[in-house]
Amino acid sequence: MPSFRSDGIEIAYEVYGTGRPILLIHGFASSGVINWVNTGWVESLEKAGWAPITIDNRGHGASRKLYDPKLYFAHEMADDAARLLDRLGHETVPVMGYSMGARISAYLAVRHASRVSRLVLGGMGANLVTGLDDSEEIIAALTADSLDEVKGATGRQFRIFAEHTKADRPALAACMISSREPMPEAEVRRITQPTLVAATNTVVSGPAICSTVILNWNSTGESGSKWALSSATSSRTSSCSGVSTATVTVTR
């Protein structure tokens, strides 16, 4: 897997296909392969004429593992993504992020606005601004001596996932301390790119959404417009934590 140095930190990435570039930013405790390849996104995007670019966020996947929480702020990981675009020679690309990756994508759209042409924020709604309150449980679960010591449902879920992916748990614990950096509402209002926020009580994700979103990007989406998820019909369950793929209607 190729890599580059971003502010002295080794960051791994991969480019698939030969179509139009699109940047994919994964969620916490995941990686480019786990979040985007294993779930079918890369395959679907390639079939739709795109060349997906995946990045392993610092502390994740094949990127360098860090143990200082001060090195995991979402805005700094957004800067990593911008430097990857520099390395690949892309001036502006569509960006899609999931969960922590959506937070990073939002910061990328604000801090490096000219680099982001369109934006999809998956699994991240109001928590982008309000933050989340289960970080301490997750950190304790990741640093416990064994899974048997972890009692909370959320903590166990993250611990089991980290063990399944053979992740560096101390690095993930450091990341959890600071990566959930809330974005001030005033900053959110600076996001002017056409944006789809896919965050509902019923989790909806997967290649079918991707096809719909890409279709709309190719046909409309003038500067400053926002997309809203209006309806969805679940079609199957993917291999990633029971997340469903779906047929989705989007409206402006």
* pLDDT (mean) for 166-176: 96
**Can you tell me the distance from the alpha carbon of 149 to that of 241, in angstroms, rounded to the nearest whole number?**
22
From 15-19, 22-26, 126-130, the region with the lowest mean pLDDT: 126-130
Does residue 216 carry a pLDDT above 50? no
Q: By the 8 A CB rule, do 129 and 163 touch?
A: no
**Can you tell me the distance from the alpha carbon of 252 to that of 196, in angstroms, rounded to the nearest whole number?**
9
The contacts of residue 183 (CB under 8 Å, 6+ apart) are 74, 103, 106, 107, 110, 128, 129
Residue 147 is assigned to a structural domain of this protein? no
For residue 213, give the CATH number of its domain: 3.40.50.1820
Residue 39 is assigned to a structural domain of this protein? yes
Q: Which pLDDT belongs to residue 16?
A: 97
Residue 137 is assigned to a structural domain of this protein? no
Q: By the 8 A CB rule, do 103 and 122 touch?
A: no
Does residue 229 carry a pLDDT above 50? no
Q: Over the chain, what is the mean pLDDT? A: 83
**Can you tell me the distance from the alpha carbon of 128 to that of 121, in angstroms, rounded to the nearest whole number?**
10
Share of the chain above pLDDT 70, in %: 79
Position 131 confidence tier, pLDDT thresholds 50, 70, 90: confident
Q: Which pLDDT belongs to residue 238?
A: 31
| DSSP H helical ranges for 165-246 | 169-178, 185-188, 207-219
Domain of 106 in residue numbering reads as 3-130+181-251
Q: What is the CA radius of gyration of the chain?
A: 17
* Beta-strand relationship, 3-6 and 20-25: unpaired
The contacts of residue 30 (CB under 8 Å, 6+ apart) are 60, 61, 98, 165
Half-sphere exposure of 188 (CA within 13 A, CB side): 17
Residue 162 is assigned to a structural domain of this protein? no
Which pair of structure tokens corresponds to residue 225?
């417009």
DSSP 5-42: EETTEEEEEEE-SSSEEEEEE--TT--HIIIIITTTHH
Residue 11 is assigned to a structural domain of this protein? yes
Residue 242 is assigned to a structural domain of this protein? yes
Residue 172 is assigned to a structural domain of this protein? no
Residue 122 is assigned to a structural domain of this protein? yes
Tally of structural domains, the chain: 1
The contacts of residue 140 (CB under 8 Å, 6+ apart) are 150, 155
What pLDDT digit, counting tens, does each position of 172-204 carry?
999 999 999 999 999 999 999 999 998 765 444
